[in-house]
Amino acid sequence: MKSDCVFCQIVAGEIAADRVYEDQHVLAFHDRSPKAEVHLLLVPKRHIDNLDTLTPADDDLIAHSMRMLPRLARKHSLDDGFRTVINTGVGAGQEVFHLHIHLLGGPTLPGL
């Protein structure tokens, strides 16, 4: 855990979040400023800054995270599809430096 990391604090239960799924490796919760009807964040429980700092030791965690996304989407009735976004670095607008996957969906999802 990184003590000054807001998502580590959510994982630890020190900051409240609207949690929708959790297992040994990952936690999913609603984004507090949703950009779509459904806007979830899926985070690894272990602190990783972003994609730039991944190592081969994270491969299983990343594969697990990817497989969780369609399950989370289905659970939130996104039967027509969903979008995932991972911002990496300040140039991409990453605000929270704890790896997270945005899962977005709903009828008014704009085109890219």
Residues identified as active-site: 100
Shorter beta-carbon distance to ligand AMP: residue 17 or 72: 17
**Geometric angle at alpha carbon 27, from 104 and 24, rounded to 5°:** 145
SS3 83: strand
Residue that is written with structure tokens 């994609």 in the block: 51
Binding mask 6-35 for ligand AMP (x = CB under 6 A): x--------x-x-------------xxx--
Among 62, 70, 87, 106, binds ligand AMP (CB under 6 A): 87
Which of 43, 46, 52 lies closest to 22, judged by CA?
43
Among 93, 107, 110, 111, binds ligand AMP (CB under 6 A): 93
As a 3-state breakdown, the chain gives helix, strand, coil percent values, each rounded to 5, of: 30, 20, 50
**Footprint on residues 49-78 left by ligand AMP (CB under 6 A):** none
For ligand AMP, the binding residues (CB under 6 A) are 6, 15, 17, 31-33, 41, 87, 93-96
